[in-house]
Amino acid sequence: MNASPAGALAGTVALVTGASSGIGAATARRLASEGATVALIARRRDRLRCLAEGITRQDGRARVVEADITDPEQAYQAVQETREAFGRLDILVNNAGVMLLGTALHTTTQEWDRMVSLNVSALLHVTHAAVPHLIDAAATSPRQVADIVNVSSTAGRVARPSSSVYNLTKFGLNGFTEALRQELLIERVRVSVVEPGTLQTELVHHLGDATRTLQQVSGIEPLQAAGIADAIGYIVTRERRVAVNEMLVRAGDQTW
């Protein structure tokens, strides 16, 4: 895909959840390279500090916001802290998530609850807190637009064995994104979803005893987080008249 103009996001503020590793960290670096000031949200402060320092060394601006966004109050405060520190919020990237695979017979309800809490509830908490600020940014900024990008998955399009509740969270996210997109059209807040396929991230360390799933991906050369960050960067740097509503990014060897 074509590179965006240098400094296309100069003067903007972006908030990235799940920023301590993987897609979140790569996206933060990408947006900072485009000139955005980036608020880094996750629970692992040490990793966020390392990321922020790396962004600063590249002449970018970043702020560490340690928060457990499954807690509604912490999610709200994280958004408010970002807004108060920088005076605006132009871009929200909802990336935080977890994938815990296993059959209904062998998976605990605690694991199901954990996925729903982070993949769905936390995203709703942050989005609800951010929407008024995004609307204000779209109305007052030279770009005349603001962005929400939700990171979903091919699991939001295709159901597979051992991933029933993960599918639930991602199918639901896709539906939420489309409805929210229609709601915010008049406000000039673009709402997009990115659906990565097989990816090399920390998510693979949470697969548990999902033997079938591991076999399915064993012969696939996985996507890298930087490739998904590139897709997100492309979406949010389009001119106001262009809205990329959905981007499906599969690994080259992936069939589903």
Identify the CA nearest to 74 among candidates 122, 117, 119, 113: 122
pLDDT confidence band for 251 (50 / 70 / 90): confident
> Can you give the pLDDT at residue 220?
82
Average pLDDT estimate for 94-99: 97
**Amino acid found at 100:** L
pLDDT confidence band for 94 (50 / 70 / 90): very high
> Can you give the pLDDT at residue 73?
98
Share of the chain above pLDDT 90, in %: 85
Average pLDDT estimate for 95-117: 96
- pLDDT tens per residue across span 49-62: 999 999 999 999 99
Average pLDDT estimate for 153-167: 96
Domain residue spans in the chain?
13-249
Residue 3 has pLDDT above 50, yes or no: no
CATH, range 13-249: 3.40.50.720
48-62, 162-176, 208-222, 235-249: segment of lowest average pLDDT = 208-222
> Can you give the pLDDT at residue 78?
98
Residue 172 has pLDDT above 90, yes or no: yes
Pairing state of beta strands 189-196 and 91-94?
unpaired
Residue 254 has pLDDT above 90, yes or no: no
Residue 252 has pLDDT above 60, yes or no: yes
pLDDT confidence band for 255 (50 / 70 / 90): confident
- pLDDT tens per residue across span 30-87: 999 999 999 999 999 999 999 999 999 999 999 999 999 999 999 999 999 999 999 9
pTM: predicted TM-score of the whole model, two decimal places: 0.92
* Distance between first and last Cα of the chain: 23
DSSP string, the chain: -PPPPTTTTTT-EEEEESTTSHHHHHHHHHHHHTT-EEEEEES-HHHHHHHHHHHHHTT-EEEEEE--TTSHHHHHHHHHHHHHHHS---EEEE---------TTTS-HHHHHHHHIIIIIHHHHHHHHHHHHHHHHHHHSTT--EEEEEE--GGGT---TT-HHHHHHHHHHHHHHHHHHHHHGGGTEEEEEEEE-SB-SGGGGG-TT-HHHHHHHTTS--B-HHHHHHHHHHHHTS-TT----EEEE--TT---
- pLDDT tens per residue across span 177-208: 999 999 999 999 999 999 999 887 655 545 55
> Which positions are annotated as active-site residues?
166
Average pLDDT estimate for 21-32: 98
Identify the CA nearest to 143 among candidates 17, 228, 242, 30: 242
